[in-house]
Structure 1
Amino acid sequence: MSNAKKKNLLIEVILFAVAAIWIIPVLSTVQISLKNGGIQNYQDVFATKINEVMILPKMILNSVIVTGGTILIVMVSATLAAYAFSKQVFRGKHFFFVLLLSCYAIPMLSTLIPNSLLMKSLGLRGSYISMIFLLATANIPLAILIFKGNFDGISKTYIEAAAIDGSTDLKTFLFIILPMSKPAVVNVLVVLFIQVWNDFQIPLVFSTSPEKYTLTLAPTFFGLTQNRLDLPHLYASIVIIAIPVIAFYMFMQDKIVEGMSLGGLKE
């Protein structure tokens, strides 16, 4: 066997081992979720009701509302702010950009108590608005950083040419900058969806009733049956949580490759 074939074989073995490290826990989770009752465990989880409301579909709806609202706010505000930081000229631009990024260094856990008191005083604790607002503010700095890095790589000649043709800043942003920033848009969408959908702290603190629980709280709800640990139903809820994330990533995978092939045009 030649050295090249030995090297390729070694690489394949390493990749297989790494893949096994990730796949084995997934298979174990599915196996435990089917223990004893089999597929009936999933049916039991879906059929569980509180106040005549099927709680798991309600959790899924809550997650869709919170995730969708957060992504909408972050995408609109972050793209506009990043465009201003990248292409506009105003006093204190560098200072405000550094100040914004410094907010990302503040752990969300350290702000839970003051945010909880704030939302309670505003009468918003236990509402979708409180969760969407806090998740959006926590993710805006990172989104701005990603978008600004992409906008910085786009040639100013496109903006100057659009200005000569009489285009306003908003039209230039919407019809020139954003279409050229497809890789950044797709990547931010994927990162936001995964982070917001999987967030546990904010829904745990700011959802005051099971009717407002998001899907990430399902394991804490289904994990106990008659004050004892119910592993099959616990793991069934974990599998259900993972399915939307996997499906979303598989759907966006082609978009990521397509966006990267388009790329941002640089000077």
Structure 2
Amino acid sequence: MSKKKKTAVLIEVFLFSVAVVWVIPVISTMQVSLKNGGFQNYKDVFSTRINDVLILPKMILNSFIITGGTIMIVMISASLAAYAFSKLRFKGRKFFFVLLLSCYAIPILSTLIPNTLLIRNLGLRGSYISMIVLLATANIPLAILIFKGNFDGISSTYLEAAAIDGCTDFQVFLRILLPMSKSAIVNVLVVLFIQVWNDFQIPLVFSTDPEKYTLTLAPTFFGLTQNRLDLPHLFASIVIIAIPVIVFYMFMQDKIVEGMSMGGLKE
């Protein structure tokens, strides 16, 4: 066996081992979720009501509302900001870009107290908009970094040609940069969906009404039955949380690989 084939075999064995390590907890979670009641555990979780409202479907709806609103705000604001930092020339551009990225290094836990006071003073605690705004501001710096990296790789020749044809800065952004940045858009979309959907801290602190809970809070809600730890229903809720992320990732897998291999047209 040649050295190249040996290397390929070792890589495959390593990847298989990693896959096994990741799959075992998933299988164990599903086994525990089916313990005792079987699929009745899932039915119980879905049929639980609060104030005549099916709480789990409501959690799923809340998660989609908050995730969708956050993604919309971040995609629009981050792409426009990245365009300004990448292609426009203005005083203090590098300073403000570094300042913005430094915000990403601040742990979100360290901002919970001031954010709580701010949201309370604005009368927004427990509302969708408070969670959407906080999640958006936490994810904008990373989105700007991804978009800017893609915009930097797009040749300025296209932008200059569009400007000669009479396009404004916004038209250049909308008609030239965005169509050539599909890979970056997909990458940002995937990262945002996974991070916002799985966020636990913001909904836990800022959703005061159980009817505003997101799906990530389901384990804290279904994990206790008559003051006892209810593992089957707890793990059933965990499986339900993971399903949308897994389906979304599988659906976008080809686009993710394409995004990793494409960074726009280089100078």
**TM-score, normalised on structure 2?**
0.96
Deviation at 1:8, TM superposition (A): 4.0
Letter of the 2:228 counterpart: R
Deviation at 1:5, TM superposition (A): 5.0
Letter of the 1:200 counterpart: F
CA contact (8 A) 1:33 1:231 kept: yes
Aligned to 1:122: 122
Aligned to 2:51: 51
Aligned to 2:233: 233
Aligned to 2:95: 95
Aligned to 1:199: 199
| Matching of residue 66 in structure 1 with residue 66 in structure 2 | yes
- Give, in whole Å, the separation in 2 of the partners of 1:42 and 1:202: 26
Deviation at 1:102, TM superposition (A): 1.1
| SS of residue in 2 equivalent to 1:13 | helix
1:29-44 mapped onto 2 (5 Å cutoff): 29-44=29-44
1:1-267 mapped onto 2 (5 Å cutoff): 5-259=5-259, 263-267=263-267
RMSD (Å) for aligned C-alpha atoms: 1.4
- Give, in whole Å, the separation in 2 of the partners of 1:13 and 1:105: 36
Runs of 4+ in 1 over 6 A off after TM superposition: none
Q: Note the alpha carbon deviations across 1:40-98, whole angstroms, 9 max, x for none.
A: 00000000000000000000000000000000000000000000000001111111111
Deviation at 1:11, TM superposition (A): 3.1
Deviation at 1:257, TM superposition (A): 3.6
Letter of the 2:159 counterpart: I
- Give, in whole Å, the separation in 2 of the partners of 1:252 and 1:4: 31
CA contact (8 A) 1:182 1:263 kept: no
Deviation at 1:255, TM superposition (A): 2.4
Deviation at 1:259, TM superposition (A): 4.5
CA contact (8 A) 2:153 2:263 kept: no
- Give, in whole Å, the separation in 2 of the partners of 1:153 and 1:138: 25
In structure 1, the gaps of 5 or more residues are: none
Deviation at 1:254, TM superposition (A): 2.3
Deviation at 1:256, TM superposition (A): 2.6
Letter of the 2:178 counterpart: L
Number of equivalenced pairs: 267
